Structure 1
């Protein structure tokens, strides 16, 4: 009888050991949870949605992750460099070169340069543009300069808020971009004298052979024209790609087109960001008396003759020169 119980005991021990070993192997060999889901997606698993898109049953795009890696590894740091790098470069330049002062000081006579409508259009595009740069920087590269220093709860809420603001501010930006592009293009056409403007760096250099050089310029100088056409072109790209990303259910782009839109959106943002920093510095800190133009619409007469002499001569000759009362 004792031998029987002994044999039964050994059999039970062997049985449970075998089951435990099999369970361990299954645990190690079969992915569970997120790992199992990811394995299924990589194997081409499909699902069901109410969408009628050609890609309605494809949960993710697993065939070309290089696009996402390009966006996260190169374009995100690129946007940071465009913003912070250009600020540092201009700050150092002003420390070395100084600003462009009016040679004859302020005359006290204010010449109309922009209408109130033009000023409204400018700020309609400018304020959303700055907001989009800051929120876009948070969404694209915030994990580098903000996420490591805040709690996960704060980071999640901050990113969510940035995303909502980014989507909303896109529409006034696009309206401002469209109005500026259509209404201001006639004054932004290139002229032969623009080449000389570039050769002497617009007369903003205060040392060496460039010092005191002030090339001819019409209503817009060559630098402003380059900024305008850059803004017009990449503003179109960033607006079109942004609409595809905001309304995927309306346009139903392919997964490939969606990824291309992400890249074009980020590249355009980097270029517009870099030029925006240059534009802001040139209009505020760099050019004495320049900011007044987009605050009141008027500029000092000495500023007009120094920086836009051909335009000033033209309005003086044709009788459209108007002073502020």
Structure 2
């Protein structure tokens, strides 16, 4: 009888062994983020997979229980138990994110090229100049702006990482993305503190938006003073998007980079990260266009801190009148500049 039982057990173990995977399941975290393996892993973050762990590049099908070392087998709670994020992420990641980014990369520059051909660059007299930005303003702006632009460029590379075939190039972009994020995390808050007061919304910003800052005026001149403080409504939109939005990007990006959050938190982080990315890329194009092409000589404000009196009086009329009434304008005049 005993031998028959042992024979049956051996037969059962033999059958289980024959059906078992030939390679052991690898429970280690995939560190090749945004390389080929990571792209394959991300594809499997989706449908009908409400679990918290990623195993061997795919999600364990565990009927809604945790697979982590400390909570294995326990019912999921909080964001881990949220339904539908997998499906939503799969639809957005698989069908829409890259397409929307591609549309922004093509259509926004095309729109500005059309604007330039129709409405021309605006020209102002740069005789009398005023020092509107200090050396500290300029330094902090560029120390935040350069890594921020690099973050955007490498981010786009990562969005289209699968098209690039993953591998060394995309992982290099990933590493630069991370390093530049650290730089922006240092200088971004300094820029926020430096300009937050000047970027607070004002009632006249609504007027600026209604007339789109005068940029739809035909020809090279704008003669009507535009309702704007030191920063116009468009600049303020960019300020709040790249600072507060940028800080949210840092947090969600950290979750995605280190993958130390539950799978549903990673999905939600990826969705937020991409949607904010749409706004940031579109507004970055806008900021560059306005600074380099829309107004002749406008870049000088962020190179040497100077702005011509006519440009200041027309495009920043409220700020100009404020400086004049407070007696600060004359002190800001750059020696040697003239009508």
> What is the CA–CA distance in structure 2 between the aligned matches of 1:158 and 1:39, rounded to whole Å?
21
The answer to whether structure 1 residue 79 and structure 2 residue 101 are counterparts is yes
Aligned length: 276
The answer to whether structure 1 residue 165 and structure 2 residue 187 are counterparts is no
The answer to whether structure 1 residue 97 and structure 2 residue 105 are counterparts is no
Structure 2, unaligned runs of 5 or more: 1-17, 25-54, 75-79
Q: Which residue of 1 aligns with 2:160?
A: 141
Structure 1, unaligned runs of 5 or more: 1-26
The answer to whether structure 1 residue 270 and structure 2 residue 278 are counterparts is yes
Deviations 1:130-176 (A, max 9, x none): 111111111112444xx3xxxx6xx5221121111111111111223
Q: Which residue of 1 aligns with 2:29?
A: none
Deviates more, 1:198-207 or 1:295-304: 198-207
> What is the CA–CA distance in structure 2 between the aligned matches of 1:30 and 1:53, rounded to whole Å?
26
- Within the candidate set 141, 145, 156, 1:122 is matched to 141
Larger Rg: 1
> What is the CA–CA distance in structure 1 between the aligned matches of 2:146 and 2:73, rounded to whole Å?
38
> What is the CA–CA distance in structure 2 between the aligned matches of 1:255 and 1:42, rounded to whole Å?
11
TM-score, structure 2 as length reference: 0.71
Distance 1:298 1:54, change over 3 A: farther
TM-score, structure 1 as length reference: 0.74
Q: Which residue of 2 aligns with 1:244?
A: 255
> What is the CA–CA distance in structure 2 between the aligned matches of 1:184 and 1:160, rounded to whole Å?
34
Q: Could you tell me whether the CA contact under 8 Å between 2:227 and 2:316 is conserved in 1?
A: yes
> What is the CA–CA distance in structure 2 between the aligned matches of 1:93 and 1:40, rounded to whole Å?
47
Tell me the CA shift for residue 82 of structure 1: 2.3
Deviations 1:31-89 (A, max 9, x none): 8779xx989965549xxx9x8654799xxx9x935414422421122222223321111
Q: Which residue of 2 aligns with 1:218?
A: 229
- Within the candidate set 166, 177, 192, 1:181 is matched to 192
Distance 1:56 1:271, change over 3 A: farther
> What is the CA–CA distance in structure 2 between the aligned matches of 1:39 and 1:216, rounded to whole Å?
55
Aligned-partner SS, 1:216: coil
Aligned-partner SS, 1:111: strand
Distance 1:70 1:53, change over 3 A: farther
Q: Could you tell me whether the CA contact under 8 Å between 2:126 and 2:307 is conserved in 1?
A: no
Q: Could you tell me whether the CA contact under 8 Å between 1:214 and 1:307 is conserved in 2?
A: yes
The answer to whether structure 1 residue 319 and structure 2 residue 327 are counterparts is yes
The answer to whether structure 1 residue 227 and structure 2 residue 227 are counterparts is no
Tell me the CA shift for residue 121 of structure 1: 1.3
Q: Could you tell me whether the CA contact under 8 Å between 1:289 and 1:300 is conserved in 2?
A: no
